[in-house]
Amino acid sequence: MINKKEPDKFLVLNELARRRGFFWPSFEIYGGIGGFVTYGPLGKKLKLNIESKLRDIFVNKIGIFEIESSIITPGKVFESSGHVNHFKEPMVECFNCNERFRADHLINEKLGISLIDIEQKSLAEIAEVIKKNKIECPECNHNFKEPTQFLTMFKTTIGPYSGAIGYGRPEAAQSIFVEFNRLYNMAREKLPFGVIQIGHALRNEISPRQGLIRLREFTIADLEFFFDPEVADCSMINEVKNEILPILLAEKREKGLEDTINITVREILDKKIVCSEWQLFFMVMAKKLLLSIGVPIEKQRFIEKLPWEKAHYATQCFDQEVYVTRWGWIEVSGHAYRTDFDLNCHMQASGADFRVFKELEKPIVKKQLTVKPKMAIIGPEFKDKAAELVESLLKIPAEEIVESLEKKGYYLVGDKKISSNHVEIIQQKNIIRGKRFIPHVVEPSFGCDRLFYVALEYALTTKDDRNILSFPITIAPIQIGVFPLVNKDGLNKKSKRIAAFLRTEGLLVEFDDTGSIGRRYARADEAGIPLCITVDYTTLDNDTVTIRDRDLWDQIRVPLCDLSFLLSDYFKEKIKFKDFGDFIKSK
RNA sequence: GCGGUUGUAGUCUAGUUUGGUUAGGACUUCAGCUUCCCAAGCUGAUAACCCGGGUUCAAAUCCCGGCAACCGCACCA
């Protein structure tokens, strides 16, 4: 096992995927373009099945809302969220050789200014730094043109005549945040609640590689979970207390160590390793999701991001990683504690109020002293200075004014004397029924194309030089193959009838009568079909068929009349293949 | 974006060094025959030189440019 070199499953899978129609690079007839893929018939089904796993866990079982919003987004949204500032890199181009360089890297190299500091600078400031310090092209020592920004978001204009800028969303989260008020309303104005969106996102990567792992257009599943930071307990955490998570902590990573610890949820809570219970809960769900699509726990881990690796919005962030043969550990989901960053940004930029009202158990009654200016007297007396005076007056605590009035008979605002004639002193009962605050957010975010890839990689096995995709039965793109043993004596007709019947029962069935029976099994294995039904001469005698298991290559004979409920239970994972009956002895 | 390697049917590939008849093979696919359980066999069919330009009587082959893929670097917020 140790000496055995792992085969590069990436190459095998890419070849298989093209040939059998799981996925392939898009636009090949025009030479192809990096970062875009087309999912074929089998791939699309598999992808839908994986997405419905996600739905099942988060939407159906936990009750997260699912919404769908547009990909094209007005520029303001991403300006407010900070993306326009963070999704760009300053570039400079040489006048002489037209070579392009990252301006921030050049400045960092030549002057030793940290990348984080440079990031704060505007383009004009960067241009100035380059001019002042006479930074020249490292290739030919000529001057640079004015620096420009390379934006990794896709930019467009909205409408034919307007210059309104729009961006292709680089993530689906912002279109949840901007709808917060309506969604909160639909949650009956109660926290906590969550909203998920599964859809396409666009990132104009400089060099997308690695097939499905890094695309320019990809499917993202962003879940935003809103909660009250003062009532941050997760109501479902007890159900998962004994679950184990493999975690690689930031403190270990900083020392260059790779030792993952397997630790129970209970212990994580005790040691306060993850700062939000809800985040921890979603990490457990993410682990379960990956298990359900066939990735064993020992090939999963959660790594804590180091401070400089974190996104601009996150305070604590864990990446869920899966081990793949070609690249080692790759990220499949990110779990970020975004606090109130995003809602706050949009609130300030748009003027919308995203604060929620929290009622106190007992309203607080406060006696409050208020000084109310009598404008009828102040106005005529101070004329054009009146407005300024009143403004200053209202900023001063009422007690201070009252005290001064009682002691001295007047109160000085600047050089103006205010006497008790000018104001009315009111003793008010103020009832505070609650307070307003901006909810906090934890965000699990899944790359669906990566889930798809790892599902394929972990499904791939070989037997007698044959490729088999041993998908978990609930995500298999096709459920049943129906074959006549040979193509004569009415076996073909009979099997077509059985296939049609199973389809009416709601099963995904493929009928195949070409080539030999062995070839059809091989084809079915490569498409990952879990069960194959074969109609033979015994079927004509007594209405029984054989069912073959993809992974065992064993067969069991069952009566036609039992087929429907056996298969139905099987795909609901209520029974196993061996529960169908006795294995037929192979010759 | 930089450096290296590469680009021939659906897939894998021979041919490229040294330009030359109809680009060869295997698997797949399709049709027919055959076939009582794991890619069997027989017959036939479909199907390719990444794109553009140049050199030449003649280019898959040589040259230039582009595109794409892979590996390394950088990037992946």
Contact predicate A481/A38, CB 8 Å: no
Q: Is the pLDDT of residue A354 over 80?
A: yes
What's the DSSP call for residue A419? E
pLDDT tens digits for range A207-219: 777 888 889 999 9
pLDDT at residue number A1:
28
Show the tokens assigned to A443.
């965000």
Q: Are strands A300-304 and A244-248 parallel, antiparallel or unpaired?
A: parallel
What is the average pLDDT across A4-16? 77
Contact predicate A273/A264, CB 8 Å: no
What is the average pLDDT across A523-539? 96
Q: Is the pLDDT of residue A572 over 90?
A: yes
Q: Is the pLDDT of residue A539 over 80?
A: yes
Which of these ranges, A19-28, A37-46, A382-391, has the smallest mean pLDDT?
A382-391
Span CA (A446) to C1' (B3), Å: 34
Average pLDDT, chain A: 87
Q: Which nucleotide is nearest to A21 (CA to C1')?
A: B10
State the pTM of this model: 0.85
Span CA (A293) to C1' (B18), Å: 55
Q: Burial level of A411, CB count in 10 A (0-12/13-18/19+)?
A: buried
Which of these ranges, A166-170, A237-241, A259-263, A309-313, has the smallest mean pLDDT?
A309-313
Closest protein residue to B41 (Cα–C1'): A516
Which of these ranges, A146-150, A341-345, A412-416, A471-475, has the smallest mean pLDDT?
A146-150
Q: Burial level of A512, CB count in 10 A (0-12/13-18/19+)?
A: buried
What is the average pLDDT across A308-330? 85
Rounded-to-integer distance, Cα A88 and Cα A74, Å: 17
| Three-class HEC string of A316-380 | EEEEEEEEECCCEEEEEEEEEEEECHHHHHHHHHHCCCCCEEEEEEEEEEEEEEEEEECHHHHHH
pLDDT at residue number A562:
96
What is the average pLDDT across A313-336? 89
pLDDT band at A140 (very low <50, low <70, confident <90, very high): low
What is the average pLDDT across A496-522? 95
**What residues contact A60, with CB distance under 8 A and at least 6 apart?**
none
Closest protein residue to B12 (Cα–C1'): A15
Q: Burial level of A1, CB count in 10 A (0-12/13-18/19+)?
A: exposed
pLDDT at residue number A192:
95
Give the gyration radius of chain A's Cα atoms. Answer: 33
pLDDT tens digits for range A159-172: 877 778 899 999 99
Show the tokens assigned to A376.
């009828």
Show the tokens assigned to A215.
């695309």
Span CA (A478) to C1' (B4), Å: 42
- In angstroms, the first-to-last Cα distance of chain A is 32
Percent of chain A with pLDDT over 90: 57
Rounded-to-integer distance, Cα A577 and Cα A531, Å: 9
Contact predicate A472/A293, CB 8 Å: yes
Span CA (A31) to C1' (B58), Å: 28
Scored b (16 or more CB within 10 A) or e, A43-63 reads bebbbebbbebbbebbbeebe
Nucleotides, chain B, CB distance < 7 Å: 1-2, 7, 10-12, 28-31, 34-41, 50-51, 66-71, 73-77
Scored b (16 or more CB within 10 A) or e, A426-447 reads eeeeeeeeeeebbbbbbbbbbb
Q: Which nucleotide is nearest to A83 (CA to C1')?
A: B77
Rounded-to-integer distance, Cα A482 and Cα A495, Å: 7
pLDDT at residue number A160:
76
Contact predicate A3/A442, CB 8 Å: no
pLDDT tens digits for range A62-116: 999 999 999 999 999 998 998 887 777 677 766 655 556 667 777 766 776 766 6
* Strand blocks (E) in A451-553: 460-463, 466-469, 480-484, 509-511, 531-535, 544-549
Could you give the C-alpha distances from A279 to A237, A444, A490, A535, in angstroms and in order? 10, 8, 59, 51
Q: Which nucleotide is nearest to A488 (CA to C1')?
A: B35
Distance of CA A253 to the CA centre of its chain: 24
Candidates A430, A376, A363; CA nearest to A398 is A430
Span CA (A523) to C1' (B36), Å: 20
Rounded-to-integer distance, Cα A446 and Cα A96, Å: 44
Q: Is the pLDDT of residue A312 over 80?
A: no
Could you give the C-alpha distances from A347 to A163, A179, A436, A574, in angstroms and in order? 25, 11, 14, 49
Q: Which nucleotide is nearest to A208 (CA to C1')?
A: B76
Hey, CA dihedral for A241, A242, A246, A251, is it positive or negative? positive
Q: Is the pLDDT of residue A6 over 80?
A: no
Candidates A73, A372, A383, A36; CA nearest to A211 is A36
pLDDT tens digits for range A439-496: 999 999 999 999 999 999 999 998 888 899 999 999 999 999 999 999 989 999 999 9
pLDDT tens digits for range A278-292: 999 999 999 999 999
Span CA (A152) to C1' (B67), Å: 21
Q: Are strands A480-484 and A416-419 parallel, antiparallel or unpaired?
A: unpaired
Could you give the C-alpha distances from A95 to A28, A91, A141, A253, in angstroms and in order? 35, 13, 10, 42
Specify the 3-state DSSP secondary structure of A543.
coil
Span CA (A537) to C1' (B75), Å: 62
Q: Which nucleotide is nearest to A170 (CA to C1')?
A: B77
Show the tokens assigned to A293.
């699509």
What is the average pLDDT across A297-302? 95
Specify the 3-state DSSP secondary structure of A170.
coil
Q: Which nucleotide is nearest to A78 (CA to C1')?
A: B77
Could you give the C-alpha distances from A20 to A361, A467, A533, A551, in angstroms and in order? 62, 12, 21, 19
| Three-class HEC string of A427-466 | EEEEEEEEEEECCEEEEEEEEHHHHHHHHHHHHEEEECCE
Span CA (A554) to C1' (B47), Å: 37
* Strand blocks (E) in A45-174: 65-66, 72-74, 88-93, 100-102, 148-151, 155-157, 165-168
Which of these ranges, A104-108, A312-316, A501-505, A534-538, has the smallest mean pLDDT?
A104-108
